[in-house]
């Protein structure tokens, strides 16, 4: 005999499907009634042995399995093992119920990825608490992330250099590595682009027209909106120790 709650006849796409397997119909019915308090969020299905349980999930898998250990024809562990290869996927949560804490049982259950071995007698409210917690965890893990959070934002780098060949070389390399390059050809344009684009990093040439790199660096470090941006000084010329120290004093990274 197979018993089920009324939810089984009209499941919704968001329902968590729960299978209770116990060869004592009264025990299965008690647990099903307790889980019936979950309302439309759960579809509760019951079976009295492993064979019937496999028949119930033949065309549709389950999310949570609660099975007795000692049953005719097939033990709870054997059922759990068979469901590991179910075409609908193995249950996300599995609970093994037993009246006897047999030595080695928990080790075998752990090997089969059983979440918990529950020792009889089990209070219905205890089962309700466990499954409620599981359903909340499953809901949180499957909630779709917002599109803007799911899409990885590219790391934006401002390349400030007045030499087109240098800019071209850097841009090609950065794009190849997956970064988003933004370019500026003089000091004033660098300040404008930094404000407008808010880059994650600035590669700053020292010798540029309108404003040199040190002047740009000083203005950026004095700007509350921009001073957090890391800045790496680039130059084709050899800098003496005084220039290096000046760059560091102004806040170069």
pLDDT tens per residue across span 19-76: 999 999 899 899 999 999 999 999 999 999 999 999 988 888 899 999 999 998 899 9
Do 72 and 95 belong together in one domain? yes
Q: Cβ neighbours of residue 58 under 8 Å, at least 6 residues apart? A: none
In this structure, how many other beta carbons lie within 10 angstroms of the beta carbon of residue 182?
A: 20
Statement to judge: residues 93 and 174 lie in one domain: no
Query: Does residue 166 fall inside a structural domain?
Result: yes
Asked whether residue 10 falls in the same domain as residue 127, the answer is yes
DSSP 41-101: GEEEEEESSHHHHHHHTSSS--SEEEEESS-SSS-HHHHHHHHTT-TT---SEEEEEESS-
Res. 132: pLDDT tops 60: yes
Q: Are strands 156-160 and 201-205 parallel, antiparallel or unpaired?
A: parallel
Residues forming beta bridges with residue 95, ordered by sequence position: 66, 116
Rounded CA separation 103/126 (Å):
24
* pLDDT at residue 177 in the model: 85
Cα-based angle 145, 41, 150 (whole degrees, multiple of 5) = 5
In a domain, 1, yes or no: no
Does residue 238 share a domain with residue 130? no
CA-nearest of 95, 102, 101 to 80 is 95
Of 245, 191, 251, the C-alpha closest to 221 is 251
Q: Are residues 236 and 188 in the same domain?
A: yes
Q: Is residue 134 part of a domain?
A: yes
Based on the fold, state whether residues 125 and 215 are members of the same structural domain: no
Domain boundary among 124, 142, 160: 142
Q: Same domain for 55 and 73?
A: yes
Same domain, 137 and 18: yes
Q: Considering the domain boundaries, does residue 161 fall inside one?
A: yes
* Confidence category of residue 84, pLDDT binned at 50, 70, 90: confident
Is residue 85 one of the residues assigned to a domain?
yes
Mean residue pLDDT across the chain: 83
Question: Does residue 74 fall inside a structural domain?
Answer: yes
pLDDT reported for residue 7: 40
Instruction: Tell me 178's DSSP state.
Output: T
Round to whole Å and give the CA distance between 206 and 162: 10
Asked whether residue 159 falls in the same domain as residue 45, the answer is no
In this prediction the pTM is 0.52
| Residue 183 vs residues 10, 147, 202: alpha-carbon distances, Å | 59, 28, 10
- Per the domain annotation, does 136 fall within a domain? yes
Give residue 95's Cα distance to chain centre: 24
Helices (H), 93-186: 105-111, 124-142, 147-150, 164-176
β-partners of residue 203 are 159, 232
pLDDT digits 0-9 by tens, 166-215 = 899 999 999 888 889 999 999 999 999 999 999 999 999 888 899 888 89
Domain count across the chain: 2
Confirm whether 47 is domain-assigned: yes
Domain span at residue 241 reads 150-250
Both 48 and 124 in a single domain?
Answer: yes
Same domain, 204 and 229: yes
143 Cβ neighbours under 8 A, 6+ residues apart? none
Q: Which of these three, 142, 171, 194, is where a domain ends?
A: 142
Same domain, 18 and 129: yes
At 32, which CATH number?
3.40.50.2300
Domain boundary among 142, 173, 193: 142
Torsion angles phi and psi, residue 5, rounded to 5: -80, 170
Q: Is 138 exposed, middle or buried (0-12, 13-18, 19+ CB in 10 A)?
A: middle
């Amino acid at each position: 005999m197979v018993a089920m709650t009324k939810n089984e006849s009209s499941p919704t796409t968001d329902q968590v499907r729960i299978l209770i397997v116990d060869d004592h119909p009264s025990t299965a019915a008690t647990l099903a009634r307790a889980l019936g308090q979950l309302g439309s969020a759960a579809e509760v299905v019951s079976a009295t042995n492993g064979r019937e349980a496999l028949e119930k999930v033949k065309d549709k898998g389950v999310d949570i399995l609660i099975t007795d250990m000692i049953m005719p024809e097939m033990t709870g562990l054997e059922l759990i093992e068979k469901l590991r290869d179910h075409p609908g996927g193995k249950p996300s949560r599995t609970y093994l119920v037993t009246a006897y804490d047999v030595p080695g049982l928990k080790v075998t259950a752990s090997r089969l990825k059983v979440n918990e071995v529950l020792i009889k007698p089990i209070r219905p409210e205890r089962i309700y608490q466990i499954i409620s917690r599981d359903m909340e965890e499953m809901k949180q893990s499957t909630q779709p992330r917002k599109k803007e959070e799911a899409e990885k934002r590219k790391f934006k780098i401002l390349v400030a250099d007045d030499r087109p060949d240098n800019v071209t070389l850097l841009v090609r390399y950065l794009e190849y590595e997956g970064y988003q390059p933004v370019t500026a050809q003089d000091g004033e344009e660098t300040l404008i682009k930094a404000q407008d684009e808010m880059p994650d990093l600035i590669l700053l040439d020292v010798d540029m027209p309108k404003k040199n790199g040190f002047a740009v660096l000083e203005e950026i470090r004095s700007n509350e909106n921009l001073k957090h941006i890391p800045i790496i000084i680039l130059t084709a010329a050899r800098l003496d120790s005084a220039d290096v120290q000046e760059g560091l004093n102004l806040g170069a990274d």
